[in-house]
Amino acid sequence: MTELLRKTAAELGELIAGREVSAAEVAQAHLDRIAEVEPKVNAFLHVNAETVLAQARAVDERIARGERLGPLAGVPVAHKDVFTTKDMPTTAGSKILEGWIPPYDATVTSRLREAGLVILGKTNLDEFAMGSSTENSAYGPTHNPWDLSRIPGGSSGGASAAVAAYEAPLSTGTDTGGSIRQPAAVTGIVGMKPTYGGSSRYGVIAFASSLDTPGPFARNVLDAALLHEAFSGHDVMDSTSIHAEVPAVVEAARQADIAGLRVGVVKEFGGEGYQPGVLARFREAVDLLESLGAKVVEVSCPSFAYALPAYYLIAPSECSSNLARFDAMRYGLRVGDDGTRSAEEVMALTRAAGFGPEVKRRIMLGTYALSSGYYDAYYGQAQKVRTLISRDFDAAFHQVDVLVSPTTPTTAFPIGERADDPMAMYLADLCTIPTNLAGNAAISVPCGLADEDGLPVGLQIMAPVLGDDRCYRVGAAVERALEDRWGGPLLAKAPAL
């Protein structure tokens, strides 16, 4: 592996800006790495080397002309294949959109381009972002670089694996119920779910519109903050976008002083169903926070116990509505259109062929929950639980500045182990879902390796709405202290691919 691949995104940005290395050289190093490891990892669905190098050369030319660019100009980024890109296919991991090239860029995409980042390609995901393992992709599973027989998390598993495998220093993801934080945790990297509305959903192929949140992946907290800042902020194209300044996330990531900060340990996250090695690393991280000057207390959030069932009524209900647009009439796959069938028959045949089993399961769950006579009993009740969860967060944040928990109950499980057990799969998001339902911010940072299997464990740090900077401040403090203890980043302990 070349030295360029081991550089942080911040370091690469400085080297490119100082013309010590060209953006084209950095891009080529990552393209070579992709070619080397992709047969084993399957993190990418689309890479076009010619387009990548053209982007990089354009950045080099702008720098040569003396233009002042952002701190990540020329730095490669992998882009989850749920963001529309007018120069690349956007499939959402589904056969129903195979080969579709959108006529427009998502806001996140356009902001990456404006900041001068070089988009390496589109990464694999669970179909329509529905899953916790990236096994639901129509294009085959992605493999965890720590252990190729294990899942890389989901739904943004391609994005997390690309960063963990050094195929990209940065990547984008979306988090609907934990789809950034859970993959980050099981691949030993940093993943951030910003405050809902803090990053634009325009051009994100919708799963659950009241939950979907774009966010960054990186190998360290500062790089994640730089990417977060690059694509976040108000967007007139998104009606749910917040009219507020982006929190000072980069400054917070550089500060990393938590003396006097009040940290709440969520009582409800632990015990039965949690891997002993995960709980051991979590307790050590809490002790570390205390040793850094934080004031640690236990906090109870009783409604969190109902977050999982509430989520699996709200999210499928919204997906059943959102996915109605994939009807074979306007774009994407069309099956059975031989001139003898009605539009309804073509639509039914196309949706049967184009959607995978998990997407069909969630569409049916959601349609049932929204149906006449059941709406109040299911969807309506779930929304009431959502309100109780938000109140629990509000009460907790009157007592403490941040909340902490394990990011996931277990480390990465073997590919195929939970494929036939949807409930076991859903439990992977047990700790992450409450934050999505409430809309506040949360980050996952590596906190060590589980004793049982030597696989990464994540620490989740949760903050109030628009308290994103607190996540980075605490995350950076943990990262610095642990790297001093480990003698370097956690990824340095990963088996080489």
Give catalytic residue positions.
80, 155, 179
Q: Residue 475 and residue 253: Cα distance in Å, rounded?
A: 8
Q: Residue 496 and residue 147: Cα distance in Å, rounded?
A: 10
Residue 192 DSSP symbol: E
Placement of tokens 């409930």 in the chain: 423
Q: Residue 4 and residue 13: Cα distance in Å, rounded?
A: 11
Provide the token pair at 385.
């639980």
Amino acid at 301: C
Give the chain's length: 497
Q: Residue 166 and residue 188: Cα distance in Å, rounded?
A: 12
Residue 147: strand pairing partners: 144
| Residues in Cβ contact with 384 at an 8 Å cutoff, skipping those fewer than 6 apart | none
Nearest to 230 by CA among 198, 259, 256: 198
Residue 39 sits at φ, ψ, to 5 deg, of: -55, -25
CA angle (486 as vertex; 482, 491 as ends), nearest 5: 90
Q: Quick one: the chain helix, strand, coil %, rounded to 5?
A: 45, 15, 40
Q: Please, is 377 exposed, middle or buried when counting C-beta atoms within 10 Å of its C-beta (0-12, 13-18, 19+)?
A: exposed
Reduced to 3 states, what is the DSSP secondary structure of residue 460? strand
Q: How far is CA 234 from CA 27, 89, 111, 201, in A?
A: 30, 26, 12, 11
